[in-house]
Structure 1
Amino acid sequence: MTLALRHARVRYGPLEALHGITLAAPSPGLTVLLGRNGSGRTTTLRALAGTVPLSAGAVVWDGVDVTRVPAYERARRGLCLVPERGAVFGSLTVRENLELTARAYDRALDAYPRLAGLLDHRAGTLSGGEQRMLALSRVLLARPRVVLVDEAAQGMSPAVAARTYELLAALDACVVLAEQRLPPALHGHPALVYELRRGAVVFSGEAAELRTAPGAARRPPRSGPRPAG
């Protein structure tokens, strides 16, 4: 099974964010979309999820064109999108967020033990890293067929971030991550990598190949506000 974009274009008003890109993410397997802010990596995730429409091209899932299938129907079929922001229900407690996905949530607490002491806290009061843990723990409980994650380890400590990438890489699913730089935990992983720049794919290959390829993904990200990619 694969999830793919074929010659996909996305427009935001007069501006084109994706310029006819083609890429494929295998399942099971890990695919990483790299690029600076404005490169199109977040838009690529949204196009795969169906939360933004294509102006041209196609989304193909397991050989079937799902371009016109709405986002909620893709979710019913097992696709899970974890956006960079707003990935948890802030007015609900941690426990209630978990119970929306599964009555038994021991697996989530095993993955992120810190959540055990936060079960009765409202999710909106958690730190950014804790909210990412909660959002990703719900993914582990849901057992989806496709997982799309924007900035998976944002706000996490290095140790928790490394654990997060291990958990995502071990899923029996098509996992697509959008990152500014290749996470250290994945440097030796046989992940498929696409580097995007200004809405176009400028590199595709395995993570090890990226080290010798020129591109923005290996440079430190710039500081300051981060607009949507």
Structure 2
Amino acid sequence: MRRGIELRAARVHYGPLEALHGVDLAAPAGTVTVLLGRNGSGRTTVLRALAGTAPLSAGAVVWDGADVTRHAPHARAAAGLCFVPDRQAVFAALRVAEHVRLAAPDGDPGPALAAYPELRPLLERRAGTLSGGEQRMVAVSRALLSRARVVLLDEPTQGMAPRVAARTYALLRELDAAVVLAEQRLPPGLRAGDGTVLVHVVRRGAVVFSGEAGEAPEAGGAVASGG
């Protein structure tokens, strides 16, 4: 039974600095979970803790009821977790075609090009030569193709045109996965309070609000005051 992924009393240290202070946070399967917070709030560290690239100093990562705290990032990826960071999310030397073929389990880039037809004329370009928004399309297409059970994305639409960003959020909502996004503000396409979009507001390494998207405080309030 798929339950999703969660942090339990999670603490993360970067040297002497504690970045997460005993965070409890759940991202159920079949929902989009949005981590809202300003830069430095801890939202990126939450994603890294779930992915295993930021080891916990205390607490646990629980995935579908199993404790995976000690599982390495590559083991989590092999089990069906896809992490798209905000930086260095593509291999600069690889062509776009190579990225999408490697990401597709059957090697078929068709679904990626259906999601982002803007990539078709760029297939022979090296990813490092693309604009920021184009690189994000390549990176997010990997998540769309991977058929992962948990998809973690840090500011997935950064640099995208508004219409492409709106399409991206619609595609992410359709994934049969626990989708976790780190954002500074709640995207317009995810504001519907139908229970399929959950929000956790992160401030200074702690969760200060958890609830449905329709109940989330405005960014100018609880979020914007974070450190």
TM-score over 0.5 for the alignment? yes
Q: Which ranges of structure 2 fall in alignment gaps of 5 or more residues? A: none
Q: C-alpha separation between the residues in 2 aligned to 1:16 and 1:80?
A: 25
Identity %: 66
Using the TM superposition, give the Cα deviation of residue 212 of structure 1 relative to its aligned residue in structure 2, in angstroms.
6.9
Map of 1:226 onto structure 2: none
In structure 2, the CA distance between the partners of 1:213 and 1:105, relative to structure 1 (3 Å rule), is closer
2:81 to 53, 70, 79: 79
Map of 2:185 onto structure 1: 181
1:155 to 151, 159, 164: 159
Q: C-alpha separation between the residues in 1 aligned to 2:179 and 2:170?
A: 12
2:150 to 122, 146, 150: 146
1:59 to 61, 68, 73: 61
Q: Does 1:100 align with 2:102?
A: yes
CA contact (8 A) 2:97 2:123 kept: yes
Q: Which amino acid is 1:67 matched to? A: T
Q: C-alpha separation between the residues in 2 aligned to 1:15 and 1:213?
A: 26
Using the TM superposition, give the Cα deviation of residue 216 of structure 1 relative to its aligned residue in structure 2, in angstroms.
3.6
Map of 2:206 onto structure 1: 200
SS in 2 for 1:28: coil
Q: Which amino acid is 1:207 matched to? A: A
Q: Which amino acid is 2:115 matched to? A: A
Q: Which ranges of structure 1 fall in alignment gaps of 5 or more residues? A: 222-228
Q: Aligned residue pairs: how many?
A: 221
CA contact (8 A) 2:172 2:179 kept: yes
Q: C-alpha separation between the residues in 2 aligned to 1:128 and 1:216?
A: 29
CA contact (8 A) 1:90 1:124 kept: yes
Map of 1:130 onto structure 2: 134
Q: Does 1:22 align with 2:24?
A: yes
Q: C-alpha separation between the residues in 2 aligned to 1:181 and 1:199?
A: 17
Task: Give deviations 1:103-157, integer Å, cap 9, x for gaps.
Answer: 2111100000000000000000001110110111111111111000000100001
In structure 2, the CA distance between the partners of 1:116 and 1:21, relative to structure 1 (3 Å rule), is same
In structure 2, the CA distance between the partners of 1:16 and 1:119, relative to structure 1 (3 Å rule), is same
In structure 2, the CA distance between the partners of 1:3 and 1:118, relative to structure 1 (3 Å rule), is same
Q: Which amino acid is 1:158 matched to? A: P
Task: Give deviations 1:1-46, integer Å, cap 9, x for gaps.
Answer: 1200000000000100000010110001110000011100000000
Q: C-alpha separation between the residues in 2 aligned to 1:220 and 1:25?
A: 24
Task: Give deviations 1:64-114, integer Å, cap 9, x for gaps.
Answer: 110001110000000000000111111011001111123211110000000
RMSD: 1.8
Q: C-alpha separation between the residues in 1 aligned to 2:39 and 2:80?
A: 28
